[in-house]
Structure 1
Amino acid sequence: MATQTTLTLHPLSSFTFTTKDSQPEEDPSVAARLQRLQNNYEDMGMRRTVEAILVVHEHGHPHVLMLQIANAFFKLPGDYLRPGEDEISGLSTRLEGQLAPTSSDPNSYGPKGEAGEAGTWEIGDCLAQWWRPNFETFMYPYVPPHITKPKEHKKLFLTLSVPKNMKLLAVPLFELYDNSQRYGPQLSAIPHLLSRYNFIYA
């Protein structure tokens, strides 16, 4: 019989959050993003994306850290990879760029009193894979049988300073669960993905 993996979650209060310089979105709209995806696909093939599920606890309940853009759009930290780039080191690089403290503020993100040095991210299990079959917003947790050339492959990794134009929010699992209307199918599925773990609250 398989044993359940135990993870220790740190409280949200043990983290310090400040702001970093703005990191503007590359595309002004969803349509523009899909058009850029299509243009890049013609040059580089299928896009590979990596994102981090960072989990803390607040009031004895797991919370997932997310970026909020323009008060309406929620996303996990991470981004797409360059062709041939390693997934784990690539995700660490993106987390460093999006969340790590600047040299002038060494404690802007991370546990209080610790400097967030490059390469200190602990990338854990790959919890989910999503596939974009066409140049559309829909993604699936499998490759549809009639699709031979997906346009994007996204992986979500369990992982343990915020741009001025984004808010880093701690969203409780009960808020995400079965709430695809607000968060979309990928983010609302996170409580299911995390149900395989037994959490200990530090």
Structure 2
Amino acid sequence: MSQTLTLHPVTSFNFTTKGAQQEEDPSVVARLQRLKNQYEDFGMRRSVEAVLVVHEHGHPHVLMLQIANAFFKLPGDYLKPGEDEVEGLKARLDERLAPVASDPASLGPNGAGKDQEDGEWEIGDCLAQWWRPAFETFQYPYVPTHITKPKECKKLFLVQVPPGKVLAVPQNMKLLAVPLYELYDNSARYGSQLAALPHLLSRYNFIYSD
């Protein structure tokens, strides 16, 4: 049976900016080398990313980060060894999108810092698992038959954000609401993982809240 999902308008959230967050690796080659080094120490990497769905003009949009005006990605990152998936995803979302304590948007009426409500993300269904079979960029929604030791498992979780929440975007990134019709069958621009999101979200019946 289809599940019902309430979507809030993108205008119901408060957006601000914070200091730039540089990528850990300067290149794809460096990132894959770090993956290889970590695999030797800790085994398969586990990554988590959030699918944040809002609506605009009665159509579902996915919030995603754009880096260098070209590269699109979902908010999230890899987990520490032994870290819980749900708590780890909340922590990664806080790191990427939570405002800093000194931000005026995060201050109380008397100018004092108020609780940032860290971790107040409603983590829902696991929508997909993507597997990296080797120290390469290719990932698949299954483990290839000849692979016994995949190098990374990435899970995409549906995450709902309460309306009115402050989302602080790093200065060197953009947070864009991309409509499903733009993602659908558009792997040339967004890659196979993001282009698959309309299929993954088709199981839900959406209610568009005002």
SS at match of 1:148: coil
Partner of 2:83: 85
TM-score by length of 1: 0.93
1:62 positional shift: 0.3
SS at match of 2:185: coil
SS at match of 1:149: coil
TM-score by length of 2: 0.90
Name which of 15, 19, 24 aligns with 2:13. 15
Aligned length: 195
1:100 positional shift: 1.0
Identity of aligned residues (%): 77
Name which of 165, 181, 194 aligns with 1:174. 181
Distance change (3 Å), C-alpha of 1:159 and 1:180: same
Report matched runs for 1:20-35 at 5 Å.
20-35=18-33
Partner of 2:135: 135
Hey, what's the Cα distance between the residues in 2 that align with 1:57 and 1:115? 27
1:105 positional shift: 2.6
What does the per-residue CA deviation read over 1:135-191, in whole Å, with 9 as the maximum and x for residues that have no partner?
Answer: 111000000010000000000000010011110000000000000001000010000
Name which of 23, 37, 48 aligns with 1:50. 48
Hey, what's the Cα distance between the residues in 2 that align with 1:38 and 1:193? 30
Letter in 1 for 2:123: I
Letter in 1 for 2:200: L
RMSD of aligned residue pairs (Cα, Å): 1.3
List gaps (5 residues or longer) in structure 2. Answer: 107-113, 161-167
Distance change (3 Å), C-alpha of 1:106 and 1:159: farther
Is the 2:48–2:77 contact (alpha carbons within 8 Å) kept by the matching residues of 1? yes
Hey, what's the Cα distance between the residues in 2 that align with 1:4 and 1:191? 15
Hey, what's the Cα distance between the residues in 2 that align with 1:121 and 1:170? 18
Hey, what's the Cα distance between the residues in 1 that align with 2:46 and 2:158? 17
Moved more, 115-124 or 178-187: 115-124
Is the 2:51–2:157 contact (alpha carbons within 8 Å) kept by the matching residues of 1? yes
Hey, what's the Cα distance between the residues in 2 that align with 1:165 and 1:79? 17
Distance change (3 Å), C-alpha of 1:65 and 1:115: farther
Is the 2:44–2:151 contact (alpha carbons within 8 Å) kept by the matching residues of 1? yes
